[in-house]
């Protein structure tokens, strides 16, 4: 069985998936141009928009936002000390990794204030239009309110593999551990002693359990969403994989996603 045929056995109604390299799509399956709710896979798109705003000089990574001592960098790396769902401080900045939707909502408002452009419009202008994302948009929270297609997220994955929109130094910072050594809960997978994150991107490192495969390198980065969606990039293998489904994350995805990742690596790497 070829790797992408594994999704035919997933207990979902609809699924679209693609494997990519820096050169583009290597394989795909399902309705790749159909839009799906992204849930938290919205965050890498929001992070890209924020990093472009940094490069444009509208905001600064070291600029203060949120609790006293917190910056844009802290918010992007889930290290601001904000609670998961409310803009309430529950820890000092830089001391714990607390996955915070509230922090990403705050980032959206910060970009709006700095640019004078609604965040959904800024995302469209700064990210979607330059990358040719015709099926992607934000209709709700910058943390989880996006919709997109596998075709579009494949273009995002290609950008993350071989940056052209972002300066290479900015892209490298996004996939580099920020505030290393922080512990915290990885949603769906429990507490991780080293819960490493870059700038809007979760970094695999030595996390166990994890939603990527046993064969994924520690440098693998990306995001998954509660709506049964994921995007990962493995720079060591030079590969990326995107999957969108119509079934919420659960036991089925905990079992299925790593198996798919390992099959993709076995078939397409090298």
Domains of the chain: 3-268 (3.40.710.10)
pLDDT value, residue 104: 98
Predicted TM-score of the model (pTM): 0.97
Per-residue confidence in pLDDT tens, the chain, 270 aa: 699 999 999 999 999 999 999 989 999 999 999 999 999 999 999 999 999 999 999 999 999 999 999 999 999 999 999 999 999 999 999 999 999 999 999 999 999 999 999 999 999 999 999 999 999 999 999 999 999 999 999 999 999 999 999 999 999 999 999 999 999 999 999 999 999 999 999 999 999 999 999 999 999 999 999 999 999 999 999 999 999 999 999 999 999 999 999 999 999 997
For Cα atoms 229, 107, 164, give the angle at the middle one, nearest 5 degrees: 65
Strand partners of residue 190: 186
d(CA 66, CA 61): 13
pLDDT value, residue 238: 97
d(CA 25, CA 76): 28
């Amino acid at each position: 069985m070829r790797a992408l045929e594994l999704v035919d056995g997933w207990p979902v109604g609809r699924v679209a998936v693609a494997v990519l390299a820096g050169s583009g799509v290597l394989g795909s399956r399902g309705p790749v141009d159909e839009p799906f709710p992204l849930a938290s896979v919205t965050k890498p798109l929001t992070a890209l928009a924020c990093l472009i705003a940094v490069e444009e000089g509208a905001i600064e990574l070291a600029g203060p936002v949120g609790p006293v001592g917190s910056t844009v960098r802290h918010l992007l790396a889930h290290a601001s000390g904000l609670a998961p769902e409310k803009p309430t401080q529950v820890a000092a900045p830089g001391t714990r990794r607390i996955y915070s939707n509230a922090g990403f909502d705050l980032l959206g408002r910060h970009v709006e204030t700095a640019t004078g452009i609604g965040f959904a419009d800024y995302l469209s202008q700064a990210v979607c239009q330059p990358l040719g994302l015709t099926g992607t948009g934000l209709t709700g929270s910058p943390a989880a309110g996006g919709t997109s297609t596998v075709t579009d997220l494949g273009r995002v994955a290609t950008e993350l593999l071989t940056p052209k929109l972002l300066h290479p130094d900015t892209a490298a910072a996004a996939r580099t551990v920020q505030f290393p050594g922080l512990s915290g809960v990885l949603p769906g997978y429990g507490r991780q002693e080293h819960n490493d994150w870059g700038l809007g991107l979760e970094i695999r490192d030595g996390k166990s359990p994890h939603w990527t495969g046993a064969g994924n390198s520690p440098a693998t980065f990306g995001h998954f969403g509660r709506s049964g969606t994921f995007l990962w990039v493995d720079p060591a293998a030079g590969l990326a994989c995107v999957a969108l489904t119509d079934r919420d994350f659960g036991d089925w995805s905990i079992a299925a996603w790593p198996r798919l990742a390992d099959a993709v690596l076995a078939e397409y790497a090298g």
